[in-house]
Amino acid sequence: MIFGRVFCSQIKVMEWRKECDFELQNYLDVWRICVSDFVPKIKENMYLLSDVEVVRSESYIQEADRNRYLIGRIYLRKLIASYLKVDPKEISFGFLEFNKPVLTTYSNFKFNISHSGDYLIIGLANRWSVGVDIELMNSKVDLYNLIYNTMSSVEVRSILNSGLPREIFYKHWTRKEALLKGVGVGLTDRLKDINCCDGLNLVPSDLSSFATSWKIRNFVMDDSYAVSIAHDAAIRVLRFYELSNNQPALSNHVEGSRKHN
């Protein structure tokens, strides 16, 4: 059997920078967006969305879910447009099998997005696939059944023997989700067969659809969120950014194009 090689490690993000050169080269850029900061911006940016996206947004019953969806679509477009140096209206999305989102044009540009609580996480890369996952570590969720239904025996021991079992569970959970989103196979009922412990892990190719090396970096954000970033091992450098309302570089790239329409 062919196995995919996955190396997992935990990192500490020291700084979320606010100024970006929007030149990816061989980097993987990770952006975080605080949803509540951008809710007032939704109405003025609805023109960027497709008719399908507008209809989908109206299907959300909870306003918080609708806002996360809308802000994700709007600012994913704006960020991608900043890197590609194009009008954000030129950015359109499609889906591969298992609903992996892709650009219908600029196919070499890769991205992935995840949201939970008050945050969005977006991963952007040139050529190399990426998967991201963020989860609010909810203290009200009963983890017992989840642990035994989704974790390998090694992971179960790691979680139960830890002084922080909830945090360790979410570390493994987000690693699995980020990996599956990155390789584009979606969630599977065989999560127990995917080991994402610290160090080197071998993943059966029938679950992962890859026979190359991947890396997964995870970290805890604001003491409340578990975040994992999965990417092809060819990517060497990760850069971390935070989108703010007064972001000068983003404004120069995408707001200027709006004025010329």
The CATH topology of domain 3-259 is: Ribosomal Protein L22; Chain A (3.90.470)
Please provide the DSSP assignment of the chain as one string.
--EEEEEEEE------BS------TTEEEEEEEEHHHHGGGHHHHGGGS-HHHHHHHTT-SSHHHHHHHHHHHHHHHHHHHHHHTS-GGG--EEE-GGG-EEESS-TTEEEEEEEETTEEEEEEEESS-EEEEEEE--TTS--HHHHHHHS-HHHHHHHHTSS-HHHHHHHHHHHHHHHHHHHT----TTGGG----SEEEEEEHHHH---SEEEEEEEEETTTEEEEEEEETT--EEEEEE--TT-HHHIIIIIHHHHT-
Selected residue with higher pLDDT from 128 and 203 = 128
Residues above pLDDT 70, as percent of the chain = 89
Residue 184 reports pLDDT greater than 90: no
Residue 6, pLDDT score: 93
> Does 260 score more than 60 pLDDT?
no
- Summarised one tens digit per residue, pLDDT across range 121-176 is 999 999 899 999 999 998 777 888 889 989 999 999 999 999 999 999 999 999 99
pLDDT at position 207, please?
Answer: 65
Q: Which of 61-70, 213-222, 245-254 has the lowest mean pLDDT?
A: 245-254
pTM of the model: 0.91
Q: Give the model's confidence band at 208: pLDDT under 50 very low, under 70 low, under 90 confident, else very high.
A: low
